[in-house]
Amino acid sequence: MSTTVEVKRNTARVLEELKRKYGVKSIDETVKRLISKAENIQDSMFGSHPKMKAFEPKDEAKFHEL
């Protein structure tokens, strides 16, 4: 599931630069890397299978019991 986070243009530019610097594919991965560095959090805390592609909303709905 995705959400939108509003940032100033300058912040978005810096995030894009860091994305290239870190060699990651998305701003989400960039933010996770920044959080990990700031809080000294292990990569494993962001999921048990980091190379697995994210679930699509339709997949989440399919497997989610209400």
Instruction: Give the domain ranges of the chain.
Output: 9-63
Residues of the chain short of pLDDT 70, as ranges, are 41-66
What is the model's pLDDT at position 4?
A: 92
- What are the angstrom distances between the C-alpha of 50 and each of 18, 29, 63, 66? 19, 10, 20, 27
